Amino acid sequence: MTTNDLETGAEVGQNVAKLEANLARVEELTQRLLKVMGQGRQVAPALQGPSQELYLKAATAYMNEMMQNPAKLIEHQLEFWGKSVKHYVEAQHLLAQGKLEPPTDETPKDRRFAHELWDTNPYFNFIKQQYLMNASAVQQAVEDIDTLDEDEKKRLRYFSQQMIDMISPTNFLPTNPEALALAAETEGESLVAGLENMIADLEANDGDLVVTLADKKAFKLGENLATTPGSVVFRNHLFELIQYAPSTEKVYETPLLIFPPWINKFYIMDLKPENSLIKWAVDQGYTVFVVSWVNPDAGYRDTSMSDYVEDGYLTAIKQVKQICDVKKVNAVGYCIAGTTLSLTLALMKKRKDTSVNSATFFTTLTDFSDRGEVGVFLDDDFIDGIEDEVTENGILDSFFMSRTFSYLRSNDLIYGPAIKSYMMGKAPPAFDLLYWNGDGTNLPAKMATEYLRGLCQDDKFATDGFEICGETVQIKDVTVPLCAIACETDHIAAWKSSYDGISKMGSKDKTFILSESGHIAGIINPPSKKKYGHYTNPEIGLTADDWYASADKHEGSWWPRWDGWLSGKSGKKVTARQPGSDEFPVLGPAPGTYVIAK
């Protein structure tokens, strides 16, 4: 026996011992898994997916069309069978020749199958090709149904794609070569670590399986997120008002008041100094105020849209005016906060209140005639389920909002992270944006119902009028100078719908900017990054398609262009203001207490 034989034997012994230790850990973890399973919330079927009526309509339409035009169905099936069987025969032929290589692969590139074994290993390549062929056949079958209306077709397209994505071979350990290779390389250590990650997520969410997207221990608000210096200068039951410390000797006379959405937390605009919209605005010489909304519990059950307008928007505007001793403010609304800002402005028009000098809308919908991708969740089957949920619990729990938005990008926000965490045992990354994405908020029952029914479904603000604070307001009642920024690939607030709403507003002074990228990246796009460009076109009266066709493309961020517009609405320069006043003493440092509360 040689020295090498002894060393090899020792290595094998160590590997076996490691494998046995991992198996023992699996047994221990299994006990924890059994304990936590079944503890999750019971989600009503209405919130699990579309009603069976959609699938029944689709099946009926498909059968009717098959009867009326069997040639189309036969052609479609023959094409699918031809590709599938041809691929099988080619794979068998190579195997019979003793060639361990995949046949010709003409399937489209898909980043889920980036690992080299999907292309080089005949087994995994066969699975990949068959899956993609089946996926294409399902997609084509949906497109071939001509007798569904457009909304039903859109929903069927979306939910069938969800099923396709869910059964991807990458999502299952026996058919994921990257996860299997790592398991073999680590003697099962990666699988044990993955099981630990899954159990930790289940335990952290009371039995609900919610994959952790970012390392929660890597960030702390006020220390490495939301660090722009400022102070809380006002607080009521709905919000804390933060005033940021100046970084210039002189500031514009008219302060800037930012309303973030209350379905998320405000620090998306203040993640870190290099991409903080808040810090950048302060550095341009604006006195910046931000509303930090309370995260409501069941005690806020009866809080309405009118409460958000009266006790939120109008109160915040009043406080800023008093703190800065001015007659007007410039206001910004992001997403649903922009929608509600438009309601507030229309109400102020009715009341002859001229406290807002100009308004800026970030990715804001006011015309809901086309609700974009998120519209698949806004039919009665889902909204009825949400209404039952909030009636029972007083709030729409952040769990449901987070899950809905995650499924709009399921491969990026559900399946991809789950594969890395649960199959490969990797720790979640220290990624600030994903940390924020997982820090959700609840919605009050009454407000959620009013918003979903009156605005999203019935589109009242852009049509007959929406009732707020005892007045019926319409989109044409928004008459202040305005600037709107929409995002080209926004999956929540489709840019064309945003444009349509702006075009219907009564303002004579309108600026519309289309940023590249999506709902977050298109807005949080600092000039220093030189990443995403933007489009402008002064002709707001055109259709959205014509506006885009004749728009000018500009490189880089839209922030400086907005600054050029906003500075012209902000008056002269005055001595920089420190947070608070004699009447409004500082209550504590930014980012405040509401944003931290769970």
- Domains of the chain are 37-185 (no CATH), 230-375+442-589 (3.40.50.1820)
pLDDT in tens, 481-522: 999 999 999 989 999 999 999 999 999 999 999 999 999 999
> Between these two residues, 3 and 187, which has the higher pLDDT value?
187
**Whether residue 114 has pLDDT greater than 60:** yes
**What is residue 590's DSSP assignment?**
T
| Confidence band, pLDDT 50/70/90 cuts, at residue 347 | very high
pLDDT at 282: 98
Buried b (16+ CB within 10 A) or exposed e, 465-493: bbebbebebbbebbebbbbbbbbbebebb
**Whether residue 122 has pLDDT greater than 70:** yes
pLDDT at 6: 44
Least confident of 29-33, 62-66, 168-172, 462-466: 62-66
Helix H or strand E segment including 203: helix 189-204
Helix H or strand E segment including 393: helix 380-393
> Between these two residues, 211 and 71, which has the higher pLDDT value?
211
pLDDT in tens, 221-269: 999 999 999 999 999 999 999 999 999 999 999 999 999 999 999 999 9
Handedness of CA 525, 529, 530, 532 (dihedral sign): negative
> Which residues are the active-site residues?
335
Alpha carbon distance 107, 110 (integer Å): 9
Alpha carbon distance 463, 182 (integer Å): 57
CB atoms within 10 A of CB 103: 20
What is the rounded average pLDDT of the residues 582-590?
A: 93
Alpha carbon distance 138, 49 (integer Å): 18
SS3 at position 79: helix
**What is residue 109's DSSP assignment?**
P
| Confidence band, pLDDT 50/70/90 cuts, at residue 40 | confident
pLDDT in tens, 278-327: 999 999 999 999 999 999 999 999 999 999 999 999 999 999 999 999 99
pLDDT at 288: 98
pLDDT in tens, 530-566: 899 999 999 998 999 999 999 999 999 999 999 999 9
Helix H or strand E segment including 361: strand 356-362
pLDDT at 35: 80
Handedness of CA 193, 194, 195, 200 (dihedral sign): positive
For the whole model, what pTM was predicted? 0.90
Looking at every residue in the chain, the average pLDDT score rounds to: 90
What amino acid is encoded at 452 in this protein? L
- Please state, for a pLDDT cut of 70, what percent of the chain lies above it: 94
| Confidence band, pLDDT 50/70/90 cuts, at residue 16 | low
pLDDT at 416: 94
Task: Please answer whether residues 288 and 248 qualify as being in contact, where contact means their C-beta atoms are separated by less than 8 angstroms.
Answer: no
Helix H or strand E segment including 472: strand 471-473
* Burial tier of 108 (Cβ tally within 10 Å: 0-12, 13-18, 19+): exposed
SS3 at position 513: strand
pLDDT at 276: 97
pLDDT at 408: 83
> Between these two residues, 597 and 428, which has the higher pLDDT value?
428
pLDDT at 10: 54
Pairing label, strands 230-235, 534-536 = unpaired
> Between these two residues, 89 and 333, which has the higher pLDDT value?
333
